[in-house]
Structure 1
Amino acid sequence: MTHTPGKVVTRDDVEPVRWMGEEGRFLLRGEDTGGLYSFFEVTTSPGGGPPLHIHEAEDEAFYVIEGRYSIVLGDEEHDAPAGRLVYGPRGVPHKFRNVSDGPSKLLVVATPGGVEGFFEGLSDLMAKGVPPSPPDMIELAARYHVEGLEQVGPPPGVRPGTRP
């Protein structure tokens, strides 16, 4: 077992990272936890959220702290107001969408740790002004060891076969 020193983090001291209508603050990174998990806050704009996707090697827990989300987990859609937690185990298709009129916020625990590199890379791709293609996202996931990331549906609010 890897031992790491403790850490105290103040949310506002963590620089936000922006990607595809979302903003994340990585409060505990993989290197802070010996690779065990990452802990971060995600703020999602109204209607925003990731497309339906699968992680083959990562588990995620989503705890809503502000606003309201619709969270799809497998074949079921769940209403997720503030105070609700939804656990997305590896291998289960999932997505979330902010269904509030304003920004909504989640706390996310992802295991194993290290997913923050993927989002920082996605932010860099987005800075080029063109949404990354699914192959770009798969390559980025492989680079940061987000194992088996597979997009299986369009982003929220986008019909299959069209681009946002």
Structure 2
Amino acid sequence: MSNQIVVTQAEDTRARYNVALLGEETAGQLSLRVQEVQPGEGTPLHIHTAQAETFHVISGNFRFRAGNEEITGGPGFTVHIPKNTPHCFLYEGKENNGQLISVLTPGIHDGFILNIPRAQAAGMPTTELTEMAEQFGVEIIGPKLSARD
């Protein structure tokens, strides 16, 4: 366990695609990301082979698939997903962006939370994103959730 206090300023978090804490900063205990998600956006169905992931909704309504369950939650909703569990989410808002916090434990594979958002923003094709994710212990196994009518 690290005995070091870590402080991250808002501008540092924004500069790293909203990663507030890297695993290397927490002695591998956790990585923390504050995500702003546009209406209709989400993640593809994927598995973290060596990490659990916990989501906490700050604003908006999100639909999550975790294993065989689909669950929806708004502000204050939290869901913990054990490693090796297929999961994804979709922001169901129509106008404003939604916000959620995601925590990966243990804090390994910082390259995933740093490099994937940059690659997506640069327009990297899905096949290349999938290959990159695999380097960081993430298997993309399906598409994102579809919006409900």
Pair 97,127 (structure 1): closer, same or farther in 2 beyond 3 Å: closer
Please say if 1:104 is aligned against 2:98. Answer: yes
Contact 1:39 1:108 in 2 (8 A): yes
Pair 121,32 (structure 1): closer, same or farther in 2 beyond 3 Å: same
Contact 1:57 1:91 in 2 (8 A): yes
Letter in 2 for 1:7: V
Unaligned runs of 5+ in 1: 18-23, 159-164
Contact 2:40 2:90 in 1 (8 A): yes
Structure having greater relative contact order (Cα 8 Å, sep ≥ 6): 2
Q: SS in structure 2 opposite 1:35?
A: coil
Between the two proteins, the alignment pairs up a number of residues equal to 146
Task: Encode CA deviations 1:97-120: one digit per residue, 9 max, x unaligned.
Answer: 000122111111101113442132
Q: SS in structure 2 opposite 1:125?
A: helix
Please give the residue correspondences for 1:40-51 in structure 2 after superposition, counting only pairs within 5 Å: 40-51=33-44
Task: Encode CA deviations 1:61-96: one digit per residue, 9 max, x unaligned.
Answer: 000011110011111100111100011111111100
* Aligned counterparts of 2:110 and 2:38: Cα–Cα separation in 1: 19
Identity %: 32
* Aligned counterparts of 1:96 and 1:138: Cα–Cα separation in 2: 17
Pick aligned residue for 2:133 from 125, 134, 141? 141
Letter in 2 for 1:131: P
* Aligned counterparts of 1:46 and 1:64: Cα–Cα separation in 2: 14
Cross-structure match for 2:14: 15
* Runs of 4+, deviation exceeding 4 Å: none
Contact 1:47 1:156 in 2 (8 A): no
The two structures, once aligned, show a CA RMSD in angstroms of: 2.1
* Aligned counterparts of 1:3 and 1:153: Cα–Cα separation in 2: 37
Task: Encode CA deviations 1:111-162: one digit per residue, 9 max, x unaligned.
Answer: 11134421322234335434331xx23432344xx32x2222113339xxxx
Unaligned runs of 5+ in 2: none
